[in-house]
Structures are given as structure tokens and as C-alpha cells.
């Protein structure tokens, strides 16, 4: 019994060894598990529906916006987290591209799964990371050995995946219009590919986030709550013990909640983090994510700024990590 506990603690420590010391935003799986993904990709199960009468749909720009090619100022000369390489401020040129107006929703993801029979990595691994505040107090003891060492509010729970985002007994039945979560980078790539799309590059994502504004902190400007309104879903209160949800949401918000930016894009900042194509610091197993999430608070993880960035391994999944797709402009 004691040996089992010790082994399980060691496994957890191994899982958390990639967590950056400055932020509890990242929970990464052990990268040794990657061949499960490639095995599945070529399995009968994955290819079954696409090989017969349920072909992937053609690329469709419905619910996407076209963003004109431009040169914009990427990054910042005043980094908040230097370790994240938010700087330097530099000019970057991006060609025209399409971007989803919204984060991919649970309904969108269900439609994809219904058509393709795709199984996510969290479903294959059998668990994912969720926030401990969604676990009933009388069950918390069960999870004391599977907490992140530097971010103990993250707990790895069996049976948690996109269909059960806040515990094995939770569901998305009343959250179809909320962003899908517990999807890995590998899952996001497969989803976008199925619809003839792709993940945005980090530069595309950041240019889109800025919505044509120059060097502003947020998609709408520099003030967090102009007109005394909430413009995104983040954390109010004292992190991590109290979330007053003044913005209306303790967890995810609908993908079309809050006003869009000048490019008509919703929830670029906050709600859920969004995967991008880009590799983190030349480590191809880690990918850049942008925008912050409902768990971000200025005191701890002020990463709901357009210039902010963070990372996870490609097979990582968590309750605050989703994505949206980009598409090529075909001339």
C-alpha cells in the first residue's frame, strides 16, 4: 500500500517536472505517452467514418473572419514575465488569413466527434487536470497525491475529459456553447485538419488579438474594465482561494459572451487558453498557448494580455485550455 502511494507520488512528480516555476497555468503530461496518439491516428477506429460515407466537410468560412495581411508590432518592450520571452518588441509581417470568430465550442467538438469518431488524448489516458474548487470538499482527500507541486489547485482526476470537464460526473449538457476544454495540442491539430483548417501561428493569433490597435495590453485597449464593465472572463477575488466571479463566471463562459474586438473576434483574452502552431523555445514537444483563461488573476498569472504567452507539452490537457482554428486565404 505504502509502496503504491510512493510510486504514485513519484509518477506525479515526474508529470509536473515541466511546470514553470512562475505560473500554475501549465500542467503537462509525461511526454513518453506520445506513441498512443500516433498509434490511434492510423487505427481503424479513427479512420472508420472518414473512409466511407461521412467524408470531412469542405473548408467553410462561416463563423470566421478574414484578417488582412499586415506588419504589426509583436511582443512588448515592457515584459511582465521575462522568462516567457514576451519581448522584444519587433515588427512582424503576416499574410492574410482566416480565423474562427469564437473558441471551438463543446457543440462544435461534438459535431466533429460524431462525424469522425475521434477519441481525444484525455479519453485515452483516462484522466485530465481540473481545478480543485470543482471537487466536493469530502472528496478532496482522495486527490492529495495527484496535486501539482507548484500549483496545488490543479488535480489530475480519472474520468475527466471534454465530455466531463469538471469531474467524472459533470457534463456539458448545459454548456454546449462554452469552449471545449481538456483537448491536447494533438487533438486541436486533428480537429482543425478535419475541417480543412489549421491552428493559427503565434504571430497570427497575436495580430488578431490586437484587432488593429497598436501596443495595447488587451484586445479592447489598456484599461481592464472600461465603462465599469467586464470585457473578458478571468478571476476576481483573491487567487487561488476565492473567486467572486464578478464577470459572471467561475468557470468557462459562452464563446460569444463579452464584446468582440475590432476584428469581430470573441474571447481572444481570457475564458480558455488557445493553442497555437508554434514551438516553445526550440523544444518541439512544447507548444505556445495564448490569451490566458478564467483562472488568470493579475496578482499571479497576468497573462490575458495580447503579448503574453505560455506553453504546454503537446499531449497536455486541462480544464482551462482550448483552441480556435485558422484557415489559409486561397488566392
In the bound complex, what is the minimum distance in angstroms from residue 305's beta carbon to Ca ion? Answer: 12
Give the nearer residue to Ca ion in terms of CB position, either 263 or 294: 294
Q: Does 120 bind Ca ion (CB under 5 A)?
A: no
Site for Ca ion in 279-308 (CB under 5 A): 291, 294
Please count the residues of this chain forming the interface with Ca ion, following the rule CB under 5 A: 7
Determine the Cα–Cα distance for residues 296 and 313; give it in Å rounded to an integer.
20
Q: How far is CA 253 from CA 18, 176, 180, 199, 232, in A?
A: 29, 11, 11, 22, 9
Q: How far is the CB of 181 from Ca ion (least distance, A)?
A: 11
Smallest gap from residue 101 Cβ to Ca ion (A) = 12
Sites for Ca ion among residues 206-265 (CB under 5 A): 233, 247, 249
Residue 105 binding Ca ion, by CB under 5 A: no
* 310 contacts Ca ion (rule: CB under 5 A): no
Q: Which of 105, 267, 310, 313 binds Ca ion (CB under 5 A)?
A: 267
Nearer to Ca ion by Cβ, of 159 and 260: the residue is: 260
311 binds Ca ion (CB under 5 A): no
Q: Please state, as a whole number, how many other Cβ atoms lie within 10 Å of the Cβ of residue 279.
A: 15
Our CA dihedral for 75, 77, 80, 81, rounded to 10 degrees, sits at: 60
Residues 6+ apart with CB under 8 A from 313: 18, 28, 29, 31, 185, 285, 286, 287
The radius of gyration computed from the CA coordinates of the chain, to the nearest angstrom, equals 19
> What are the percentages of helix, strand and coil residues in the chain, rounded to 5?
25, 20, 55
CB nearest Ca ion: which residue?
291
**C-alpha atoms less than 13 angstroms from C-alpha of 46 in its C-beta half-sphere:** 16
Q: Does 26 bind Ca ion (CB under 5 A)?
A: no
Q: Binding residues for Ca ion, per CB under 5 A?
A: 233, 247, 249, 267, 271, 291, 294
Amino acid at each position: 500500500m505504502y509502496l503504491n502511494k510512493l510510486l504514485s507520488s513519484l509518477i506525479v512528480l515526474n508529470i509536473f517536472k515541466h511546470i514553470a516555476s512562475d505560473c500554475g497555468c501549465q500542467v503537462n503530461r509525461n511526454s513518453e505517452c506520445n506513441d498512443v496518439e500516433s498509434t490511434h491516428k492510423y487505427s481503424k477506429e479513427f479512420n472508420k467514418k472518414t473512409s466511407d460515407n461521412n467524408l470531412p466537410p469542405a473548408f467553410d468560412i462561416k463563423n470566421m473572419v478574414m484578417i488582412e495581411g499586415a506588419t504589426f508590432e509583436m511582443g512588448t518592450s515592457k515584459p511582465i514575465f521575462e522568462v516567457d520571452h514576451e519581448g522584444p518588441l519587433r515588427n512582424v509581417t503576416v499574410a492574410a488569413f482566416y480565423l474562427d470568430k469564437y473558441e471551438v465550442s463543446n457543440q462544435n467538438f461534438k459535431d466533429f466527434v460524431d462525424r469522425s469518431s475521434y477519441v481525444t488524448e484525455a479519453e485515452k489516458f483516462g484522466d485530465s487536470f481540473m481545478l480543485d474548487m470543482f471537487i466536493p470538499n469530502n472528496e478532496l482527500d482522495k486527490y492529495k497525491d495527484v496535486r501539482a507541486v507548484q500549483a496545488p489547485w490543479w488535480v489530475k482526476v480519472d474520468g475527466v475529459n471534454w465530455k466531463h470537464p469538471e469531474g467524472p460526473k459533470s457534463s456539458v449538457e448545459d454548456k454546449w456553447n462554452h469552449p471545449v476544454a481538456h483537448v491536447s495540442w494533438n487533438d486541436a491539430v486533428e480537429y482543425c485538419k478535419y475541417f480543412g483548417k489549421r491552428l493559427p501561428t503565434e504571430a497570427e493569433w497575436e495580430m488578431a488579438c490586437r484587432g488593429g490597435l497598436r501596443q495595447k495590453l488587451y484586445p479592447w485597449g489598456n484599461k481592464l474594465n472600461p465603462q465599469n464593465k467586464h470585457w473578458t472572463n478571468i478571476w476576481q477575488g483573491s487567487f487561488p482561494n476565492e473567486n467572486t466571479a464578478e464577470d459572471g463566471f467561475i468557470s468557462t463562459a459562452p464563446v460569444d459572451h463579452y464584446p468582440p474586438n475590432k476584428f469581430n473576434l470573441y474571447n481572444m483574452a481570457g475564458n480558455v487558453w488557445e493553442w497555437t502552431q508554434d514551438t516553445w523555445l526550440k523544444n518541439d514537444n512544447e507548444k505556445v498557448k495564448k490569451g490566458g483563461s478564467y483562472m488568470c488573476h493579475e496578482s499571479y498569472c497576468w497573462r490575458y494580455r495580447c503579448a503574453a504567452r505560455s506553453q504546454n507539452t503537446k499531449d497536455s490537457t486541462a480544464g482551462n485550455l482550448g483552441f480556435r482554428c485558422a484557415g489559409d486565404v486561397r488566392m
